[in-house]
Amino acid sequence: MEKLHVLLVDDEIMIREGFKRLFDWAGHGCEVSGEAADGMEALAQIDLLRPDIVIMDINIPIINGLKVIELTRIKHPETAFVIVSGYDSFSYCREALRLQITDYILKPVNYEEFGSCIDRLKISLFQRRTDREPDPQGERPITGLTRYLQEHLSEEISLSVLAEEFHLSAQYISQLFKNEIGVNFLAYLTNIRIERAKKLLISSPLPIAEVSAQAGYGDYRVFSKVFKRAEGVTPSQFRRDFLEGGR
């Protein structure tokens, strides 16, 4: 997979330096291409560098982070944003959801948590690009594999199942996920299952057990544990927070 280009936006130089020095960007298939200290500079750098990902604080000078995102969406709708903020505000979180932010991380940054965020983002960017491929006849093996996963998500899926379905070795498939997407097969599968569950939780009144089944988890207790590990809250709490925020 090609390296993803990252722009760091924060008015505190120590925060930007911390991101550059304390996080293994190369290990996560990324490189920092630029940085900015305020919203105006951020917009200029986004126009110039066309980064895949912008890591940004909300409270930056001249133009705040949420406005930067709103303006960027007009010219560069594919740019992905991760908000890093010192404010644990639900109103900020809700606005971030409206603007389709990939993640909202609180300072001080937990770099292990941030690494998981970047891996989820890589999966999301890959999925978007896959969805734009119009001709299934000419698709790459990895595209066919990920399309199959999306279409059979509620079923039992494993490397051996894919190997039998596509007449490829499990080891080859495993390597494809690592090389093409930058994450291992299980991380990819877990991510798309959790994303399916989140959509069902906020768009349907289905019981948690049914959401679990449709996301590919036969045991809703296992589903709840995996969901909480990924999102920090239980499926029920996730649904409650969303409904209460919409009132």
Q: Residue 125's pLDDT is what?
A: 84
| Cα–Cα distance for residue pair 153/169, rounded to 1 Å | 21
| Cα–Cα distance for residue pair 197/219, rounded to 1 Å | 14
Residue 93's pLDDT band (cuts 50, 70, 90): low
The CA distances from residue 221 to 18, 100, 191, 202, 227, in Å, are: 38, 29, 17, 19, 10
Residue 230 has pLDDT above 90, yes or no: no
Q: Residue 100's pLDDT is what?
A: 64
Residue 94's pLDDT band (cuts 50, 70, 90): low
| Cα–Cα distance for residue pair 84/10, rounded to 1 Å | 9
* Nearest residue to 129 (alpha-carbon basis) of 64, 65, 80: 80
Q: What is the pTM of this model?
A: 0.75
Domain boundaries of the chain, sorted by first residue: 4-125, 135-247
- The more confidently predicted of residues 97 and 51 is 51
Q: Residue 157's pLDDT is what?
A: 94
Q: Residue 106's pLDDT is what?
A: 80
Residue 89 has pLDDT above 60, yes or no: no
CATH number belonging to domain 135-247? 1.10.10.60
Mean pLDDT across the stretch 71-78?
90
Tokens, residue 26: 């190369």
Weakest mean pLDDT among 25-39, 85-99, 210-224: 85-99
Mean pLDDT across the stretch 90-111?
68
CATH topology of domain 4-125: Rossmann fold (3.40.50)
50, 96 Cβ separation under 8 angstroms: no
Secondary structure of residue 103 in the 3-state scheme: strand
Mean pLDDT across the stretch 26-34?
93
Mean pLDDT across the stretch 35-39?
95
